[in-house]
Amino acid sequence: MTIKYASAPPAARGRPRLAVSEKERARIYRLYVVEELAVRDVAARLRIPEANVRRRMKAAGIKARPNVSRSGLRRVDQGRLFSDVILLGVEGAAVKRKVTKRALQYYIAGLRREAKNKNSG
């Protein structure tokens, strides 16, 4: 008597597919696309790790923004940038430079930290 075994299905590779509910997709979409928050800020609001936010965005079909916006700020003359902020405010300067308000605030904070470190060191 011979025993016949059914062939086993191929082993799944990697992480199992993530099912994202419509409610969760809408919430991530609102925070990331509509409010233009960074992934780290979305993660903080949802109280989950950044990697989970990125994975859920991918599963929900929400494309990540490129980091070109911030690198574009690095090519701008700092004096001009600060004068725009003084004249137009942070929101106006962000619109003019085609970046989010949060990206501009983050960049300016970095410039201030650099200046403070140069003066203290």
Half-sphere exposure of 10 (CA within 13 A, CB side): 3
- Domain range spanning residue 72? 68-120
> Into how many domains does the chain fold?
2
Are residue 53 and residue 90 in the same domain, yes or no?
Answer: no
Counts of helices then strands in the chain (DSSP H, E)? 6, 0
Residue 108 counted as domain residue: yes
> Over the stretch 37-92, which tens digit does the pLDDT of each residue have?
889 999 999 999 999 999 999 999 998 876 655 557 777 888 898 999 999 999 99
User: 2 in a domain, yes or no?
Assistant: no
Are residues 73 and 55 located together in one domain of the fold? Answer: no
- Rounded distance, CA 104 to CA 108, Å? 6
* Averaged pLDDT score across all residues of the chain: 83
121 pLDDT band, cuts 50/70/90, is low
Q: Could you give the C-alpha distances from 35 to 15, 31, 62, 92, in angstroms and in order?
A: 30, 5, 14, 16
| Same domain for 116 and 74 | yes
Residues 46 and 85 in one domain: no
Instruction: State yes or no: pLDDT of 5 exceeds 60.
Output: no
In DSSP notation, 78-102 reads HHHHHHHHHHHHHHHHHHHHTS-HH
